[in-house]
Amino acid sequence: MKFYDDEISSRLLIGTALYPSPAIMLEAIKASKAEIVTVSLRRESGTEQAGQNFWSFIKDSGAKVLPNTAGCKSVKEAVTTAHMAREIFETPWVKLEVIGEDDSLQPDVFGLVEAARILSEDGFQVFPYTTEDLVVAEKLISAGCEILMPWGAPIGSGRGLNNIYGLRSLRAHFPNIPLIVDAGIGLPSHAAAAMELGYDAVLLNTAVAKAGDPVLMAKAFALAIESGLQCYQADPIEKRDMAAPSTPVAGLPFWNQDHA
């Protein structure tokens, strides 16, 4: 699996906010087997984790950093934050968020497309946090995005996959574009369901960081991702409206036919 020019083996991306302590965060990242961690420049700079100590903890994880523009509500704000992140972390990667509504934290897809085009033209490799809308997806790809990150549900809601039909349609329409379900994942079963739809990866934060035992929950998600991926690769059976006996009558000894 490639994200732009980088080969990635882990299908789980994990956030770095909301943990009880930096030490537990590092343990959870290790337990998740994630190779990519997201960092919010705006949010972390306003908390007690801010400064060089927090950045050194992130570097100690050994994971690749995906800075994000969380909390940005305008194109200008998102572009400025992305430039700051590139300077600090020395990476062209950016998870682009342009929030359009406060209660649901739904993306402003119009601002998102505009910001994606500006950043792509400036050499950024953009990971856009978007909806499952097919038209928006086309415009983001035309703007230079080679990855799409549709939401499963509102950020931090833990509701799982709210629109399975929409997510399945997105996968079908863009078979060659890496797709990452981002936001709303609450349980390992939600992550497995995303992988069973054929998605390439899952990004989450709150479900692990706010769990009673973040490290154990990170392990659970790692297992769920692997299980869902193998399920998709195994080509599961189609759903049926009627029952189908697992033991057919044909070919059975006559004394077993009454019990088939």
**pLDDT for 47-85, tens place per residue?**
444 555 667 777 777 889 999 999 999 999 999 999 999
When the pLDDT of each residue in the chain is averaged and rounded to a whole number, the result is 90
CA-wise closest residue to 136 among 150, 120, 122, 154: 150
pLDDT in tens, 3-47: 998 999 999 999 999 999 988 999 999 999 999 999 987 655 444
> What pLDDT is attached to residue 47?
46
pLDDT higher than 80, residue 86: yes
Separation of alpha carbons 150 and 133, rounded Å: 8
How many Å separate Cα 46 from the centre of its chain?
A: 24
Compare 130 and 102 and report the one with higher pLDDT.
130
Residues contributing to the annotated binding site for 1-deoxy-D-xylulose 5-phosphate: 156, 183-184, 205-206
Q: At what angle do helices 22-32 and 52-60 cross, to 10 degrees?
A: 20
pLDDT higher than 50, residue 103: yes
CA-wise closest residue to 216 among 50, 24, 80: 24
Other C-beta atoms closer than 10 Å to the C-beta of 165 total 9
Q: Which of 23-32, 184-193, 227-236, 238-247 has the lowest mean pLDDT?
A: 238-247
HSE of 6 in the Cβ direction (CA atoms, 13 Å)?
15
Residues contributing to the annotated binding site: 156, 183-184, 205-206
Other C-beta atoms closer than 10 Å to the C-beta of 259 total 8
Choice among 33, 64, 76, 95 that is catalytic: 95
Contact 78, 108 (CB under 8 A): no
Helix (H) or strand (E) holding 139: helix 134-142
Q: Amino acid identity of 135?
A: V
Contacts of 17 by beta carbon, 8 Å cutoff, 6+ apart: 40, 43, 44, 205, 209
pLDDT higher than 60, residue 172: yes
Helix (H) or strand (E) holding 30: helix 22-32
Mean per-residue pLDDT for 155-162?
A: 94
Separation of alpha carbons 105 and 256, rounded Å: 59
Phi and psi at residue 225, to the nearest 5°: -60, -45
> What pLDDT is attached to residue 88?
87
pLDDT in tens, 179-197: 999 999 999 999 999 999 9
pLDDT in tens, 214-223: 999 999 999 9
Contact 164, 197 (CB under 8 A): yes
CA-wise closest residue to 97 among 125, 129, 122: 129
CA-wise closest residue to 188 among 211, 166, 170: 211
How many Å separate Cα 187 from the centre of its chain?
A: 13
Active site residue 95: yes
Phi and psi at residue 179, to the nearest 5°: -120, 130
Tokens 């770095």 belong to which residue?
A: 16
Going from N- to C-terminal start, the domains of the chain cover 2-234
Does domain 2-234 match CATH 3.20.20.70?
A: yes
